[in-house]
């Protein structure tokens, strides 16, 4: 009795990590195919790319969630709240492209709680990637003309 279906071990069944690409100046597009791509332990490469982009100016992140991602784990919000507190990353915008109502609500909730905590991060949800990238690019461009405050600079001058 053999297996009912042949196993194809040479074909990967799951993309191991999110795919990251530059979408516009200062805007990184992050394609998440599986729910675990959003987990904090999968964000290292995204953070490294964001840090590299921050050297040139404000950064926008556009997360494109595959339709199989219908919710965002609770650990994700806390992780990104800690990350956005790092002024070196210069995060200006976070867009989430999703068809999931639950993921949309989670992203919008993150935006509200971020603003309530005093963060200067714009958060929006979209159903179309092109609109999300255009929005993030506009947010980044508007911040590029605004000087980034340097912590402690005013007290050092006065």
- For 77, the enclosing helix (H) or strand (E) is helix 74-84
Confidence of residue 153 (pLDDT cuts 50, 70, 90): very low
- The domains of the chain, with CATH numbers, are 19-143 (3.30.750)
Q: What's the per-residue H, E or C state across 79-132? A: HHHHHHCCHHHCEEEEEEECCCHHHHHHHHHHHHHHHHCCCCCEEEEECCHHHH
The pTM of the whole model exceeds 0.75: yes
104-150 tens-digit pLDDT: 999 999 999 988 988 889 999 999 999 999 999 999 999 876 555 45
37-46 tens-digit pLDDT: 999 999 999 9
């Amino acid at each position: 009795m053999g297996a009912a279906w042949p196993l194809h071990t040479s074909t990967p069944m799951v993309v191991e990590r999110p795919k990251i690409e530059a979408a516009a100046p200062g805007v990184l597009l992050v394609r998440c195919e599986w729910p675990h791509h959003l987990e904090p332990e999968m964000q290292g490469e995204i953070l490294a790319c964001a840090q590299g982009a921050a050297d040139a100016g404000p950064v926008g992140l556009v997360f494109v969630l595959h339709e199989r991602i219908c919710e965002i784990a609770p650990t994700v919000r806390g992780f990104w709240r800690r990350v956005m507190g790092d002024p070196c990353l210069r995060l200006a915008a976070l867009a989430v492209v999703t068809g999931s109502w639950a993921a949309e609500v989670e992203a919008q909730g993150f935006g509200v709680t971020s603003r309530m905590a005093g963060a200067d991060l714009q958060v929006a949800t979209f159903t179309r990637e092109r609109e999300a990238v255009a929005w993030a690019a506009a947010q980044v461009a508007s911040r590029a003309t605004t000087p980034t405050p340097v912590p402690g600079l005013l007290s050092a001058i006065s």
